[in-house]
Amino acid sequence: MCVWYNTETAYLLLCFVMTQSHDKLFKRRREDFWCEQCGAQVAGDGYTNHCPQCLWSKHVDVRPGDRAAECGGLMEPVALVKERLTHRCVRCGYEKNNKTAADDDFDALLRLANRIADGR
Ligand SMILES: [Zn+2]
Ligand SMILES: [Zn+2]
């Protein structure tokens, strides 16, 4: 315990530590994220907008990459046409077309295609 710190120093130190960890958290959220649908950890590259394991996305972009939407609802994959994956926000119904990514789980893509073909 640093008993020799006076109150002001301790306060500044605490502020510094909190700012540092806040920066780390913020950066981590931009690059990597935990999928809220299946719990997989997704290593983001700045362009990743859906989980490669379950293909769900999150309503965070207005224009691709700007992270401006404040909705934050989970987006369900509802259509798959060739390389085009359509997500629909479960909270506000907003639909968005995305491209499938090279690291998307092939089985998940197949399951989605089958589910859509079955009319869910
Ligand atoms: Zn997922
Ligand atoms: Zn939404």
- The DSSP call for residue 37 is T
Q: Looking at the structure, do residues 59 and 85 belong to the same domain, yes or no? A: yes
Q: Looking at the structure, do residues 1 and 52 belong to the same domain, yes or no? A: no
Range of the domain at 4: 1-30
In sequence order, what DSSP letters do the residues of 74-118 get, joined into one string? EEEEEEEETTEEEEEETTT--EEEEE--TTS-HHHHHHHHHHHHT
CA of 111 to the centre of ligand 2 (A): 24
The pTM for the full model equals: 0.66
| Whether the Cβ atoms of residue 115 and residue 78 lie closer than 8 Å to each other | no
Nearest to 82 by CA among 56, 100, 103: 100
Tens-place pLDDT, residues 30-60:
557 789 999 998 876 665 679 999 999 988 8
| Ion ligand 1, residue ranges at CB < 5 A | 35, 37-38, 40, 51, 53-54
Q: Looking at the structure, do residues 82 and 104 belong to the same domain, yes or no? A: yes
Over the chain, what is the mean pLDDT? Answer: 78
Q: Which ligand is nearest to the CA of 39?
A: 1
> What pLDDT sits at residue 93?
94
